[in-house]
Amino acid sequence: MGDLLRDTRIHAVLGAIVVTIGVWLAVGAAPAELLGAVALGVAGFLVWQGTTIGRIWGWTSLLVGLASAAWPIATMVQVRGQTAEPSDEQMGLILTAVVAGLFASVFWTSFAVGIFRWIKRRETEQAEAKVKAEAADRQRSKKQSQGRR
């Protein structure tokens, strides 16, 4: 079970499901074929870009943030398709989509940036530790070679 949870492909599929649900919520009534294409495209993208589990969820969060930003636009397009002059109820729906979409977009995008910064900091720390270990090994081998003379 532990090895299964460390498999990046499983996380890519889960991330694709999350993004597809986000797109479905943003667009509303979407054809199943479109949602299937979104799921497959996102899964392929996450497998391609997601070399680690952290990167997969960083990209997933960023894509959900983009879907949240698209929600107000999709709502406006849907309302415009129904009528030329929106009613007060439709204007309220647009306002709700704009406020909630903006909040969700900022949240998920910020969350993604935080994940990517955490990954960068962790990679930098690992690289510094590797450099220090190599320097210590060189010092040891230098002392050993001086002791043999």
- DSSP string of 124-144, one letter each residue: HHHHHHHHHHHHHHHHHHHHH
The widest CA-to-CA distance across the chain, in whole angstroms, is 93
* CA 37/CA 51 separation, integer angstroms: 22
Digit-coded pLDDT (tens) for 110-124: 999 999 999 999 999
Instruction: Report which of 111, 19, 36, 23 is spatially closest to residue 71, judged by C-alpha positions.
Output: 23
Side chain identity, residue 90 = Q
Which residues form the domain of 38? Answer: 2-148
Instruction: Report which of 60, 54, 41 is spatially closest to residue 6, judged by C-alpha positions.
Output: 54
- pLDDT classification of 147: cutoffs 50, 70, 90: low
Instruction: Report which of 48, 58, 45, 49 is spatially closest to residue 120, judged by C-alpha positions.
Output: 58
Alpha-carbon dihedral sign for residues 57, 58, 62, 68 = positive
pTM (two decimals): 0.79
Any residues with CB less than 8 A from the CB of 15 and at least 6 apart, and which? 42, 43, 46, 50, 56, 57, 59, 60, 63
For the chain, percent of residues with pLDDT exceeding 70? 95
How many structural domains is the chain composed of? 1
Digit-coded pLDDT (tens) for 37-88: 999 999 999 999 888 899 999 999 999 999 999 889 988 888 888 888 888 8
